[in-house]
């Protein structure tokens, strides 16, 4: 007897893109490393919080903190 695992993708995720388009409403999951176009705050796959803004901090902000 063989077991077959089928994964259904019910959400619009960005394929082949490492940077989600936050301005278009995409949210990024750091754990799954995928972006989703959904209206929830948590990842539909793993349940972790989705990012709505990039992590990058501008260089001048870092210099002002030093």
Asked whether residue 14 is assigned to any structural domain, the reply reads: yes
> What pLDDT shows up at residue 45?
86
User: Residue 21 domain-assigned?
Assistant: yes
Asked if residue 61 belongs to a domain, the reply is no
Examine residue 2 and state whether it is found in any structural domain, yes or no. no
The kind and range of the H/E element at 63 are: helix 59-65
pLDDT 10s per residue in the chain (66 long)? Answer: 666 666 666 666 555 456 678 888 888 888 988 888 888 899 888 899 999 988 876 665 555 665
The Cα–Cα gap between 49 and 23 comes to: 18
Residue 24's domain comprises 10-40
The structural domain count of the chain equals 1
Q: How many angstroms separate the first and last alpha carbons of the chain?
A: 63
**CA atoms of 32 and 12, how far apart (whole Å):** 14
Establish if 17 belongs to a structural domain: yes
- Give the pLDDT confidence score for residue 50 in this predicted structure: 92
Residue 3 lies in a domain: no
* Inside any domain, residue 33: yes
């Amino acid at each position: 007897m063989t077991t077959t695992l089928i994964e259904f993708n019910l959400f619009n995720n960005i394929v082949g893109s490492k940077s989600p388009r936050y301005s278009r409403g995409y949210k990024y999951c750091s754990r799954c490393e995928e972006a989703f176009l959904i209206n929830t705050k948590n990842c539909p796959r793993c349940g972790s919080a989705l990012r709505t803004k990039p992590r990058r901090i501008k260089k001048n902000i870092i210099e002002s903190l030093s």
